[in-house]
Amino acid sequence: MPIRYIDQLSDLKDKKVFIRVDFNVPLDAKGDITEDTRIKGALPTIRYAVEHGAKVILASHLGRPKGEKNPKYSMAPASKRLSELLGKKVRQATDCFGDDVTRDINAMKSGDVLMLENVRFYPGEEKNDPQFAAQLANGCQVYVNDAFAVSHRAHASVEAITKVVPTIVAGFLMRNEMTFFDKAMQNPVRPLVAILGGAKVSGKLQVLEKLMNKVDKVVIGGGMAFTFLKAMGYSVGASKVEDELLPTAKKIMDKAKRKGVMFYLPVDCVVANAFEATATNFVTTVQEIPQGWMGLDIGPASATLFAETLRDAKTVIWNGPMGVFEMDAFARGTFAVAEAVASAFATTIIGGGDTDAAVRKAGVDNKVSYISTGGGAFLELLEGKILPGVKALDIKVKK
Ligand code: AMP
């Protein structure tokens, strides 16, 4: 899909440039930012616009204010952090449109940065309301999408707005996401290995289906592995299982066989007598999970096996932790896989959210090729879907 990027525009000087970023950062109880990766991710695009003399208007959502103004979800902490990172003042608007915002925009000089308030303070954002989109656009000449993580949502600041702003481009974060994704999925250097984990199978079924047509090996860990193990006939004790998906799990394994895709499941796991950090736990083979005990991590033999699958890998995609890595007792499997991914002689791509956190916690975030900022968006791309926010950037589509 042909997309133009911000550095393909000839002149940004004094132009009002609206950049949709994803500053949906985690906050602690005091309202301080605990993780600013998402803000850092958008810095190259913001800096580029500033350095080229644009009047930079930023928009984002934060949390789930459910269409109502709520100071708890104000963008103010994000604009403060951005200001520190950019080394220049970022003005925080009191709203995302209206007279005060228009006054702020009209007062902007070349290179100034204004952060609008949370776009989800209005129901029009999630409804993709064209009128709200026009209010947001507020006479801007250029729209930049640099919010990959929300591009699977047809929301007003991602989709409808592209119909009202004359020039539509993508930012550098978006370019990185698309480039790495293409490298992994469109033209992968093989063997291509996909590692999937996390709690639920349900959210990942279509992804698995699609992956069977693309990958050479699939490695399944985390809670989702137990549905597959049960479908193979093992008794998995009190482990997390989605019983209604057992036939589908079976079908996926059959498809893997038909397609010649190597399909790896854990051979051992760490079982616990409760879903608690301090629960009694021990390692057992998957054949011998006792009744009433739940598998909360892959075991050491599985970690070795999974690492072995990466030995000849040239491209690795990983989404979803191998265990309940938030609890130390059940984090070893995820960290071992993180280490193995990081030391693979391959292009390694980590898909957002929990896996991102796990890789950082394991201290190997600098050793992987790319960490996607998208969780849901990353999975939808893997599924082969065209994201609405990306489709809206297609320069062939007549606006
Ligand atoms: P998901 O949103 O489906 O990617 O799930 C991520 C969550 O899966 C993480 O918070 C992990 O704690 C959780 N998880 C990983 N392994 C297991 C497991 N064996 N049992 C229950 N939850 C798990």
Centre of ligand 1 to C-alpha 299, Å, is: 15
List the residue whose alpha carbon is closest to atom 6 of ligand 1: 198
- The verdict on residue 391 lying in a domain is no
Residue 399 has pLDDT above 60, yes or no: no
pLDDT in tens, 215-235: 999 999 999 999 999 999 999
- The verdict on residue 1 lying in a domain is no
Domain that holds residue 282: 188-382
Ligand 1 lined by 268 (C-beta under 6 Å): no
- The verdict on residue 358 lying in a domain is yes
- The verdict on residue 377 lying in a domain is yes
Q: Same domain, yes or no, for 200 and 230?
A: yes
Does the active-site annotation cover 258? no
**Catalytic: which of 197, 221, 353, 389?**
353
For ligand 1, what atom is nearest to the CA of residue 324?
A: 12
What does the pLDDT average to over 294-307? 98
CB burial of 87-126 (b: ≥16 within 10 Å; e: otherwise) equals eeebebbebbbeeebeebbeebeebbbbbbbbbbbbebbb
Ligand 1 lined by 199 (C-beta under 6 Å): yes
Ligand 1 lined by 267 (C-beta under 6 Å): no
Radius of gyration of the chain (CA): 23
Residue 397 has pLDDT above 90, yes or no: no
- The verdict on residue 316 lying in a domain is yes
Q: Same domain, yes or no, for 86 and 204?
A: no
For ligand 1, what atom is nearest to the CA of residue 203?
A: 3
Does the active-site annotation cover 353? yes
Residue for token pair 């309940």: 324
Q: Same domain, yes or no, for 232 and 373?
A: yes
Please state the pTM of the whole predicted model.
0.89
Residue 341 has pLDDT above 70, yes or no: yes
Phi, psi of 28 (to 5 degrees): -85, -175
Question: Can you list the alpha helix ranges (DSSP code H) found in 128-217?
Answer: 130-137, 172-181, 205-211
Ligand 1 lined by 221 (C-beta under 6 Å): no
Q: Same domain, yes or no, for 245 and 138?
A: no
pLDDT in tens, 74-122: 999 999 999 999 999 999 999 999 999 999 999 999 999 999 999 999 9
Q: Same domain, yes or no, for 193 and 293?
A: yes
Q: Same domain, yes or no, for 302 and 378?
A: yes
**Catalytic: which of 4, 200, 250, 314?**
200
Sheet holding 370-372, edge to edge: 262-264, 217-220, 192-196, 315-319, 347-351, 370-372
- The verdict on residue 301 lying in a domain is yes
- The verdict on residue 395 lying in a domain is no
pLDDT at 353: 76
pLDDT at 398: 46
pLDDT at 203: 82
Ligand 1 lined by 20 (C-beta under 6 Å): no
Q: Which of 113, 145, 174 is the last residue of a domain?
A: 174
Instruction: Tally the domains of the chain.
Output: 2
Higher pLDDT, 399 or 139: 139
Residue 263 has pLDDT above 90, yes or no: yes
**Catalytic: which of 38, 120, 217, 240?**
38
Cα gap 185→384, rounded to integer Å: 9
Ligand 1 lined by 354 (C-beta under 6 Å): yes
Residue 343 has pLDDT above 90, yes or no: yes
What does the pLDDT average to over 114-135? 98
Q: Same domain, yes or no, for 95 and 40?
A: yes
Q: Same domain, yes or no, for 142 and 196?
A: no
pLDDT at 396: 67
Higher pLDDT, 156 or 183: 156
Whether the bond between 191 and the residue before it is cis, its omega within 30 degrees of 0, is: yes
Q: Same domain, yes or no, for 243 and 138?
A: no
For residue 208, give the amino acid letter: L
Q: Same domain, yes or no, for 82 and 118?
A: yes
Ligand 1 lined by 320 (C-beta under 6 Å): yes
Chain center to CA of 349? 11
> What CATH number is attached to the domain comprising 349?
3.40.50.1260
pLDDT at 199: 92
Rounded to the nearest integer, the mean pLDDT of the chain is 95
pLDDT in tens, 176-218: 999 988 888 888 999 999 999 999 888 888 899 889 999 999 9
Centre of ligand 1 to C-alpha 184, Å, is: 24
> Do 211 and 218 contact (CB within 8 A), yes or no?
yes
- The verdict on residue 389 lying in a domain is no
Q: Same domain, yes or no, for 17 and 138?
A: yes
> Which of 327, 354, 356, 372 has most ligand 1 atoms within 8 Å of CB, for mutation?
354
Q: Same domain, yes or no, for 210 and 347?
A: yes
Cα gap 334→359, rounded to integer Å: 8
Question: From the DSSP assignment, how many helices (H) and strands (E) are in the chain?
Answer: 14, 15
Q: Which of 149, 174, 199 is the last residue of a domain?
A: 174
pLDDT at 184: 86
Residue for token pair 């193990």: 229
Residue 129 has pLDDT above 70, yes or no: yes
What does the pLDDT average to over 161-188? 92
